[in-house]
Chain A
């Protein structure tokens, strides 16, 4: 892919003080082998996304069903699985949260 297609910096999150955004897209598969030992049939199902965001400043996200604030993570149900806030004497305060996204799911109460 030509170098002009690369990105530099954070583009997946609108926040101003974001250190990093990570998104992992996953899918499950079922493979059936044929009589010669080769995989002959494949079925993929249950696409999910997971990821994390690290940053600084005011954070309104709380654990539970919510919006990850990451572009491309839409539809279905997104669960903020954990939120970590940190402070130390020699740096700005920071936070980090992780999420799981189930694009084909419905929330039930």
Chain B
């Protein structure tokens, strides 16, 4: 459940932004149908030096828009809002750590990818993160 704690912390952080009021949030453990627009946060962790409390994680944010209802430019604006939310690292770290579920030491943007099928635009933002649990 370590990854789920980190995923949930990021979801709570994003949900506090009024600009995402219409967005549906999911974590890697959720298996329900994704209602658009959606952000799914999933994480994969490995321990630092065999520690049971400090971890490296690869965190992915899957950003999805309804392809029938939105144009690609609108999806790009949605993605940009997510990226901008993570632009000020100190603020993000402070907000996540205020939740007391995990302690985020830092993160770095590691890449992005995108694809589209008949129904939805999908963009994946990937971050490398270092975090600990109490």
Contact = CB atoms under 8 A, between A and B. Distances in A.
A62 interface: no
A89 interface: yes
Contacts of A9: 50
The majority secondary structure among interface residues of chain B is strand
Contact of A17 (B51, B108, B110, B128): B51
Sort chain A's interface into a size bin. Answer: 10 to 19
Given A90-B108, A91-B56, A92-B105, A17 B49 contact: yes
B95 to A, nearest CB: 21
A68 interface: no
A56 B49 contact: yes
A19 interface: yes
Contacts of B110: 90
A55 B48 CA distance: 9
Interface string B54-96: 1010000000000000000000000000000000000000000
A73 interface: no
Interface string B25-54: 000000000000000000000001111001
Contacts of B49: 10, 16-19, 55-56
B51 to A, nearest CB: 6
A13 B86 CA distance: 38
Residue in A55, A89, A90, A91 whose Cβ sees the most chain B Cβ within 10 Å: A90
B76 to A, nearest CB: 25
B83 to A, nearest CB: 16
Interface string A11-55: 000001111000000000000000000000000000000000001
16 contacts: A10-B49, A10-B50, A16-B49, A16-B51, A17-B54, A18-B49, A19-B49, A55-B49, A56-B48, A56-B49, A56-B54, A89-B128, A91-B128, A91-B130, A92-B48, A92-B130
